[in-house]
Amino acid sequence: MTTMTAQATQVYQLFIRATPEQIWEAITTPEFTTQYFHGSAVESTLEPGSPWNGYSTDRSELWVDGEVLEAEAPRRLQHTWRALYNPETAAEPFSRVTWEIEPQENGTTLVTVVHDRLEDSPKTAESVSGTGWMHVLSGLKTLLETGQPIAG
Amino acid sequence: MNDDDAVFKALADPTRRHLLDRLYERDGRTLTELESELEMTRFGVMKHLRVLEDAGLVVTRRAGREKQHFLNPVPIRLVHDRWIDKYTEHRVAALSDLKKRLEESA
C-alpha cells in the first residue's frame, strides 16, 4: 500500500437531479444543511466578507468558521473554511471551498466542489478527503432527489 | 449507457486503473506527467483519460496554460453505495442469521 498525503487541492463532482436554485438553497440554508452536512447548521447572509459559520444542530457549538468570498446565486459560491471541531484542524490556517453549479440540458445539474488552499492544513485536508466530502455530497444528492436524508 | 455503466467500463481496464492510482497518489497532474510513466503514446493516454472523464472519474481544470487532471471519487462512492453495500450487508445479515440459528439449535 502506498501511504498518501491528502491532496492540497481536492475536486469532487456529481450530477444531481434538481435545479440550480434547489441546490443553492440546500447549500446555504440550515434547514437543509443539518440534513446532510454532518448535522451542521450553516449561518450566513451570503454577503462577500460576511461570516460563513457552521453550528452544531442545536446551535450550541461553532463547528466551522469562515468568510464568504463570492456569492453569485445560484451558480457560484466561494468561502473560506476552518474546522473547529478538532483542536488540530482548528489550529491550521483557513482553506477555501468553491461550489460551481451548472445546469445541464437533461434536467440534471452538475455540482463541482473544489476544496483548495490546503497546503498548510494537512490535518484538515485529511479529514475532508476519503469519505468526508463524498459523504456530504452523496447525502446532498439523496436529499434533493428523494426528499429524505441518507440513512445513517 | 447509464452512469454506472460508464464507471464500470472505465474501471475495466488496467491502464485506466493505473491512471487513477497515479492521481490518487498525487492529484492535479498534467497529461505530460501522466504520459511519462506509461509505455504508451500521448494519443493512447488521452483516449484513456477521455473515457475516465466521460465516466466522471477524472475532472480537468485549467490552471494558466496547464490542464490539470483530478481524481473525482464520487462516482465510485455512488456505485459502491448502490452495488456493493447492498450485497455485503446481505452477506453479513445471512451470517448473523446463521449464527443465531446454530446457537438456537445448540
Q: Which CATH number covers residue A43? A: 3.30.530.20
Block residue for cell numbers 440513512:
A151
| pLDDT above 50: residue A1 | no
For chain B, give every domain's residue range. 3-105
Structural domain span for residue A91:
10-146
Tell me how close the Cα of B76 comes to any Cα of chain A, in angstroms. 10
* Confidence (pTM): 0.85
Per-residue pLDDT tens digits for B18-53: 999 999 999 999 999 999 988 999 999 999 999 999
Q: Tell whether A95 is covered by a domain.
A: yes
Nearest to B78 among A2, A114, A138 (CB): A138
The CA distance from A65 to A43, in Å, is 10
Nearest C-alpha neighbor of A113 from the set A46, A6, A23, A52: A23
- What's the total number of domains in chain A? 1
B78 at A interface, C-beta within 8 A:
yes
Residue A43: count other Cβ atoms within 10 Å of its Cβ.
17
Query: What CATH architecture does domain B3-105 belong to?
Result: Orthogonal Bundle (1.10)
Report helix, strand or coil for B63: strand
Task: Supply the DSSP symbol for A94.
Answer: P
Q: What is the pLDDT of residues A50-106, one digit of tens each?
A: 999 999 999 999 999 999 999 999 999 999 999 999 999 999 999 999 999 999 999
The share of chain A scoring above pLDDT 70, in percent, equals 95
Give domain status of residue A2, yes or no. no
Give the three cell numbers for residue A125: 485536508
Of A22, A15, A21, A13, the closest CA to residue A144 belongs to A22
Q: Is residue A3 part of a domain?
A: no
> Is residue A86 a part of any domain in this protein?
yes
